[in-house]
Structure 1
Amino acid sequence: MPITTFFKLVEIQTKLASLFPFLLGTLFAAYYFNAFNLVNTLIFFVAMLIFDMTTTAINNLMDYQKAKDKGYKDEVNVIGQEKISEKLIIRLIIGMLIAAMLLGILLVFRTNIILLVIGAGCFFIGVFYTFGPIPISRMPLGEPISGLVMGFGIFFIAAFVNVNDTNLLSLLFSKQSFILEGNLVSILSLFFVSLPTVFFIANIMLANNTCDLEQDIVNHRYTLPFYIGKKQAVRLFNVLVYLSYVVIVVAVLLGLLHPVLLLLLGTIIPMRKNLALYNDKQVKSETFVIAIKNIVLFSSSEVVLLAVSLLFK
């Protein structure tokens, strides 16, 4: 399989959705916990990227196999477009899944066994997000689950592999007993600061499902926009964007982020222009990209400002 075809299969351009929570979680660990572990960070990055590509390949395979519309199957889905062998895709999926699991187990040995529990949960959700008789992506739970697992899950693990586990979360065994220890304030701080990423990743899924609403109904995919309607889905898209700015302001007021992060408010002007274009029409080929532009605009600015805030430590 040519590398260009492989990149289309795994939709390499969408991996920004996992890159941003990874970068933000790593930088927040350095800022808030004064902790950074280069080896653990690199191992997690590779494992995360491989697993993200795996779930996307599974998604495309499931969409191809479950498609009711022959036009979509042969002309829209990458497997039909590129005439890729299903057996080859299955072998790729298994290979990438094993590689991600091995890297994850290595990280468990380098940190704490609680990571095995967290990682297993992420693997389960990631696989069954698109696999099985009723995958999560075909239900109205797709947006909140994708936002939480990627936006908070990746953010949390990126911080966890850098921070001494006793300062954050740990699972200890002693004969027949086990002790689960954690710092509730630290965990809640991580969750709150990760919320903008949660919202923007959920918005990518929301925009995709809103633009594909008619096609999804034909292919028996009943996602959140089907239940709440396109008008409310567009309204929710806007609300999640503005809530992200509110979170940043509150996080600064709580002392979780440096005041320099308030410069992020300057991105509201181009963000409003993006939202105006999206509100005008929801067409996959024309305006879905706005969801990607939004996360790039907001999260890349947040990454830069969080990195700058390290200079004031």
Structure 2
Amino acid sequence: MTKVIEADKGFKVWWHLTRPHTLTASFVPVLLGTAIALAINHETINFGLFLAMLIASMLIQAATNMFNEYYDYKLGLDNEHSVGIGGTIVRHGVAPKTIMIIALTFYFIAMLLGIYICAMTSWWLVAVGLVCMLIGYLYTGGPYPIAYSPFGELVSGAVMGMGIVLIAFFIQTKEVTIEAILISVPSMILVGAIMLSNNIRDIVGDTEGGRKTMAILVGRHNAVTILATFFIISYLWIIALVIFTPLSVWALLVLLSIKKPIQAIKLFRAKEKPLEVMPAMKYTAQTNTIFGFLLAIGLLASYLL
């Protein structure tokens, strides 16, 4: 019985290392890009490519989280009291080297999947994939980590939000269209919002650690205002596309998710301690997930109906 409990705890340790609540930032864009390909270009979906892209994206996201854990520990930013971390190093005694080996293994598997995707589509994607993987590493690794700068939201949004959507679209259609780019804009913004909410929560600790995030530079109050602006633009963008482009009215299903960002902003305004605002981060991540799913459903409904 004891061994079963220990095994269960061990699984939870490794599961938390991937920071599963962040993985929506990788699989939702893949789903959305595929839905755009079906609804806008009326393509027949290659499910092998879809699954390969989905798994590769999630592996890269999980590896990026592990690089984050490794380098935050190395730089002294994480300790056993830190909020929102996997905690495998500072709380569970896992060797940092082990974390790095797992992350690099995930990258290797993602590269194998990438080779399959390129062989089935275009070898130009090799360069794109390598750039994405390099950015994933440099987000917290290297001499000038992106996450410690004011550009974390921009880079993560562009690569994970818009970039993954467009790659998922391209492998199904062999092209990138203006329509796909326009529809992917809210995904870019909302992935950036996830990173911004994380930086708002960590503003005190990050300041002490020497980071220069957007939240630190503009101040907490303004950072929350920017987060609210991100949410507002995302919803207005889809409404504008429905009004001014051929995008189906079914895309307005995204409005059903509007409760989550409202909850996030209200909580960020009312509370400041990291533990108290953890639900606000959850609401922000849920906004990205639910918004993306509803938009994908709306696109599929427009195709089927």
Query: TM-score, normalised on structure 1?
Result: 0.87
Q: Does 1:63 align with 2:72?
A: yes
Q: Does 1:286 align with 2:276?
A: yes
- Of the candidates 26, 38, 59, which is equivalent to residue 34 of structure 2? 26
1:293 Cα offset (Å): 2.8
Q: Counterparts of 2:261 and 2:64 in 1: how far apart (Å)?
A: 29
What is the CA RMSD across the aligned residues, in angstroms? 1.8
- What do residues 14-35 of structure 1 show as CA deviations (whole Å, max 9, x unaligned)? 1011121111111011001111
Q: Are the equivalent residues in 2 in contact too, given 1:54–1:97 (CA < 8 A)?
A: yes
- What do residues 62-82 of structure 1 show as CA deviations (whole Å, max 9, x unaligned)? 0011015xxx42333511111
- Of the candidates 241, 252, 261, which is equivalent to residue 242 of structure 2? 252
Q: Which amino acid aligns with 2:80?
A: D
Q: Are the equivalent residues in 2 in contact too, given 1:208–1:284 (CA < 8 A)?
A: no
- Of the candidates 230, 241, 246, which is equivalent to residue 240 of structure 1? 230
**Which residue of structure 2 lines up, in the alignment, with residue 73 of structure 1?**
79
Q: Counterparts of 2:118 and 2:260 in 1: how far apart (Å)?
A: 42
Q: Does 1:162 align with 2:152?
A: no
- Of the candidates 18, 21, 27, which is equivalent to residue 13 of structure 1? 21
- Shift in alpha-carbon separation, 1:277–1:34, aligned structure 2, 3 A: same
- What do residues 22-52 of structure 1 show as CA deviations (whole Å, max 9, x unaligned)? 1111101100111111111111111111111
- Aligned positions, number: 289
**Which residue of structure 2 lines up, in the alignment, with residue 116 of structure 1?**
126
Q: Counterparts of 2:224 and 2:283 in 1: how far apart (Å)?
A: 12
- Of the candidates 197, 208, 213, which is equivalent to residue 218 of structure 1? 208
1:274 Cα offset (Å): 3.9
Q: Counterparts of 2:103 and 2:291 in 1: how far apart (Å)?
A: 32
Q: Which amino acid aligns with 2:198?
A: N
Runs of 4+ in 1 over 4 A off after TM superposition: none
Which deviates more, 86-95 or 52-61?
86-95
Q: Are the equivalent residues in 2 in contact too, given 1:32–1:256 (CA < 8 A)?
A: no
1:103 Cα offset (Å): 1.1
**Which residue of structure 2 lines up, in the alignment, with residue 182 of structure 1?**
none
Q: Are the equivalent residues in 1 in contact too, given 2:253–2:295 (CA < 8 A)?
A: no
Which deviates more, 290-299 or 2-11?
290-299
Q: Counterparts of 1:213 and 1:60 in 2: how far apart (Å)?
A: 17
1:122 Cα offset (Å): 0.8
Which deviates more, 16-25 or 300-309?
300-309
Q: Counterparts of 1:298 and 1:29 in 2: how far apart (Å)?
A: 18
1:271 Cα offset (Å): 4.0
Q: Are the equivalent residues in 2 in contact too, given 1:278–1:290 (CA < 8 A)?
A: no
1:277 Cα offset (Å): 2.6
Q: Which amino acid aligns with 2:99?
A: I
**Which residue of structure 2 lines up, in the alignment, with residue 264 of structure 1?**
254
- What do residues 78-124 of structure 1 show as CA deviations (whole Å, max 9, x unaligned)? 11111111221122122111111111122111101221121121112
1:210 Cα offset (Å): 1.0
Q: Counterparts of 1:304 and 1:285 in 2: how far apart (Å)?
A: 34
1:59 Cα offset (Å): 0.6
Unaligned 5+ runs, structure 1: 170-185
1:270 Cα offset (Å): 5.5
Q: Are the equivalent residues in 1 in contact too, given 2:264–2:283 (CA < 8 A)?
A: yes
Q: Counterparts of 1:269 and 1:82 in 2: how far apart (Å)?
A: 36
Q: Are the equivalent residues in 2 in contact too, given 1:156–1:191 (CA < 8 A)?
A: yes
3-state SS of 1:132 partner: coil
- Of the candidates 291, 295, 305, which is equivalent to residue 288 of structure 2? 295
Q: Counterparts of 1:115 and 1:149 in 2: how far apart (Å)?
A: 14
Q: Which amino acid aligns with 2:115?
A: I
Query: TM-score, normalised on structure 2?
Result: 0.89
1:256 Cα offset (Å): 4.5
3-state SS of 1:113 partner: coil
Unaligned 5+ runs, structure 2: 1-6
Q: Counterparts of 1:101 and 1:269 in 2: how far apart (Å)?
A: 38
- What do residues 180-202 of structure 1 show as CA deviations (whole Å, max 9, x unaligned)? xxxxxx1x322211111111111
- Shift in alpha-carbon separation, 1:144–1:125, aligned structure 2, 3 A: same
